[in-house]
Amino acid sequence: MSDLVSGLYPGIVTHGRLKPRPHRLRYRIFMLLIDLDEIETLGRLKLFRTERFALTSFAQKDHLSGTGDLKAEVARHLAEAGIEGGGPVRLLCMPRILGGVFNPLSVYFCHRADGALSAVLYEVNNTFGDRHSYLIPVEGPGVIRQGIDKGFYVSPFMDMDLAYGFRITPPGERVAVAVDVSDAEGPVLNAAFAGERVELTDRAIWRAWASHPLMTLGVMAAIHWEALKIWLKGERLRPRPKAPVRPVTVGAAGHF
């Protein structure tokens, strides 16, 4: 299946809290890049399935509104924001492992009909079952630099009056996603994932599954373990506001 755009990206996720109490983590994970036009083709693999249980799988209902047909839903959000679409939509996320998944951040690369990247949609989940997305137009080729004000409660240890800065190397032979979080006084936190592309085959899936124990343990368990360590350091809990009424916040190109 060497003609696929979809692929695996084994790599490293890092997370560094800078203040008020420093805390760092580093885990090996693997991400799935799935071209939404290739979903049916991917069902030919033995160790990977779409919309049903397998060792590793992908289900459209895990994302956005949960109603399925992700490409049509992304197209609608682009149209409502006045952003040109009509081309491929490629989603970078963690796959289901033995039926379970939690994606703190999923990234959609949205293209125009001519193949040029037109926008990035950042889909954020918190551990309380809420979900919100940020849609930001892309200016030109190369490394993507974008920013937007925080509008959705994620961590109980983080304030709401913060801003996100994104630095993205779009998927190719490698992919990199970095998020810098700042308050009015400067950087608060930085998080990043960087991985190298591996062709999506049954052998690659097996090797990725066997060599990444965090994925088997569960990302949710790791998140709660790190939260416990932060709490034991004396960090206070922040009140949780209601989730935004609209599912998507639209940002402006060049706001970074």
pLDDT of 18 reads 81
In the predicted model, what is the mean pLDDT of residues 174-200? 95
**Closest to 104 measured CA to CA, from 221, 248, 227, 220:** 220
Distance separating alpha carbons of residues 51 and 73, to the nearest angstrom = 17
Mean pLDDT of 54-77: 93
Query: What average pLDDT score do residues 219-247 get?
Result: 69
What's the confidence (pLDDT) of residue 238? 80
Percent of the chain with pLDDT over 90: 61
Q: Report residue 209's pLDDT band, with 50, 70 and 90 as the boundaries.
A: confident
CB atoms within 10 A of CB 219: 19
> What is the average pLDDT score of the chain?
88
pTM: 0.92
Tens digits of residue pLDDT in 37-65: 999 888 788 899 998 888 889 999 999 99
SS3 for 131?
A: strand
The answer to whether the CB of 39 falls within 8 A of the CB of 98 is no
Evaluate whether 119 touches 135 at the Cβ level (below 8 Å).
Answer: yes
In the predicted structure, residue 193 carries a pLDDT above the cut 60: yes
Give yes or no for a contact between 223 and 101, defined as CB atoms under 8 angstroms apart. no
